């Protein structure tokens, strides 16, 4: 049968979120453009992209899934208040943990003894990590409010917020580069915090009228209890914790492989480009969650995800296979000859990641719709084990640069994670097929 959900409506929900993700993905390349043109670019690219960000993102991991949880569960005012209390409690604890790590000898102990970071990156990374102390709370507040906006049809507001974030980033980068001549890691962290704080403030401001005028006071569904929320959210939280945990592990493994500083410097630059294409598919997860309740929707949503997978993979392939890669990594990103060659070669290892991101968003949305969030944790555990296995083999071998092994570990992990999603979602997909082969069509595709 046809679907009651039109492709046009899916596109209308998706494109503001995709624009938001793409704008957010531009943040990394923008910072690279400046840092690569400042003093000691290798040191600061490595300190910021391979030390500060992985550790900061590991600390924020338990609140990453607030966007999906808020989108799925903010059905009425009571549920909204329960999720908000959880957000503030978790943010306070995680921010305290970040401050403890940043302001005590724990940080150099971690990056030197555990991550095996090159010694010249430690002090720049420590200063940047101190600047990032408000990071986790700002991310949690932003994602919680954005979930409410998405659920009630205001996804375009999310894109506007990300544009504000990018403009704040650019303003701080420009001022720091031209007037204050700040060190690269310091400048990158200041720009990142300025952008995130501005975006969080805008998300909170935009959500207020929605909560006041649109959010139902009561819901016909069963009220969201603390137990029900934790049963839904804890597997998601563990998922993000495991997923973010691989980033410091990756940095630690690369630090033990040949040409560590070059690899640590170039990996964030490659990942920034790949994330531009992956972000388009990653944005699709909330679209699936928002529309899957509608009878007949799974057909349209599945078709749309396949189109995203093909389009994004073709886009990245065009860059990798043409002189565009030299323009991106050299002219735009400012990498030197050897770093540019390393980046261009490594890019080919990531070529399937955009397609996998779109596929994962569709399958993960189905799993979340069925409330079987434990399957998502299992899939990320598969990613962790397979990635660590590849990294371990690379360290033991020691026969090639760490950047290649790190990218291969990501590609293998994402491929196996997608396979696990396919297997674990087979029951919910079967139920959706049964549901969506019944009833009349009410909208043209």
Give residue-wise pLDDT tens across range 223-245: 778 888 888 888 878 888 888 88
Alpha-carbon torsion (346, 347, 348, 349), positive or negative: positive
Angle between helices 426-436 and 402-424 (to 10 degrees): 50
Taking only the tens place, the pLDDT of each residue in 291-340 is 888 888 999 999 999 999 999 999 999 999 999 999 999 999 999 889 99
Mean of pLDDT values over 335-358: 95
Contact 383, 413 (CB under 8 A): yes
Q: What is the pLDDT of residues 355-396, one digit of tens each?
A: 999 999 999 999 988 878 788 889 989 999 999 999 999 999
| pLDDT for the residue numbered 23 | 86
What is the per-residue burial (b if ≥16 Cβ within 10 Å, else e) of 199-220? bbbbbeebbeebbeeebeeeee
CB neighbour burial string for 346-367, b if at least 16 within 10 angstroms, e if fewer: bbebbbbbbbbbbbbbbbbbbb
DSSP, residue by residue, 133-168? TTHHHHHHHHHHHHHHHHHTT-HHHHHHHHHHHHHH
Query: CA distances (Å), 58 to each of 111, 241, 338, in order?
Result: 14, 6, 30
Sign of CA pseudo-dihedral 117, 123, 128, 129: positive
The pTM (predicted TM-score) of the whole model is 0.83
Mean pLDDT along residues 269-275: 95
The pLDDT value given to residue 2: 46
C-alpha to C-alpha distance for 146 and 204, rounded to whole angstroms: 8
Task: Provide the pLDDT confidence category of residue 221 given band limits of 50, 70 and 90.
Answer: low
pLDDT band at 443 (very low <50, low <70, confident <90, very high): very low
Cβ neighbours of 324 (radius 10 Å): 12
What does pLDDT average to over the chain? 91
Comparing C-alpha atoms, which of 39, 89, 85 is closest to residue 62?
Answer: 89
CB–CB of 148/212 below 8 Å? no
SS3 (DSSP) at 224: coil
Describe the crossing of helices 426-436 and 297-321 by its angle, rounded to 10 degrees: 120
- Asked whether the beta carbons of 436 and 302 are under 8 A apart, the reply is no
Task: List strand residue ranges (DSSP E) for 128-266, in order.
Answer: none
């Amino acid at each position: 049968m046809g679907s009651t959900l039109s492709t046009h409506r899916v596109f209308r929900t998706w494109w503001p979120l995709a624009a938001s993700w793409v704008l957010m993905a531009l943040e990394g390349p923008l910072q690279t453009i400046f840092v690569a043109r400042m003093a000691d670019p290798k040191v600061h690219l490595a300190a910021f992209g391979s030390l500060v960000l992985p550790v900061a993102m590991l600390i924020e991991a338990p609140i990453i899934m607030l966007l999906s949880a808020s989108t799925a569960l903010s059905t009425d005012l009571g549920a909204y208040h329960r999720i908000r209390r959880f957000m503030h409690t978790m943010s306070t604890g995680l921010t305290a943990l970040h401050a403890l790590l940043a302001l005590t000898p724990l940080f150099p102990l971690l990056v030197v003894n555990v991550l095996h970071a090159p010694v010249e990156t430690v002090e720049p990374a420590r200063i940047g990590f101190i600047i990032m102390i408000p990071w986790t709370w700002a991310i949690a507040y932003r994602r919680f409010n954005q979930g409410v906006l998405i659920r009630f049809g205001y996804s375009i507001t999310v894109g506007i917020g990300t544009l504000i974030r990018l403009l704040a980033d650019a303003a701080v980068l420009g001022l720091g580069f031209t007037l204050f001549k700040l060190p690269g890691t310091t400048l990158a962290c200041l720009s990142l915090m300025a952008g995130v704080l501005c975006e969080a403030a805008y998300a909170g401001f935009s959500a207020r009228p929605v909560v006041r005028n649109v959010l139902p006071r009561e819901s016909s569904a069963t009220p969201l209890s603390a137990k029900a929320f934790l049963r839904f959210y804890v597997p998601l939280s563990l998922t993000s914790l495991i997923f973010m945990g691989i980033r410091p592990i990756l940095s630690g493994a690369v630090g033990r492989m040949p040409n560590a500083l070059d690899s640590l410097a170039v990996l964030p630059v490659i990942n920034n480009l790949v994330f531009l294409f992956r972000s388009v598919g990653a944005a699709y997860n909330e679209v699936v969650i928002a529309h899957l309740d509608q009878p007949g929707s799974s057909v349209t949503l599945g078709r749309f995800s396949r189109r995203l997978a093909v389009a994004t993979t073709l886009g990245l392939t065009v860059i990798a296979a043409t002189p565009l890669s030299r323009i991106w990594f050299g002219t735009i990103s400012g990498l030197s000859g050897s770093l540019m060659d390393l980046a261009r070669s490594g890019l080919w290892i990531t070529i399937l990641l955009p397609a996998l991101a779109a596929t994962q968003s569709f399958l993960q949305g189905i799993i979340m719709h069925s409330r079987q969030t434990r399957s998502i944790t299992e899939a990320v555990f598969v990613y962790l084990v397979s990635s660590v296995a590849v990294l371990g083999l690379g360290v033991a071998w020691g026969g090639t640069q760490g950047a290649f092994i790190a990218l291969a570990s990501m590609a293998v992990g994402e491929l196996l994670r997608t396979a696990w999603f396919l297997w674990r979602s087979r029951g919910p997909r079967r139920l959706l097929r049964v549901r969506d082969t019944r009833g009349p069509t009410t909208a043209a595709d």
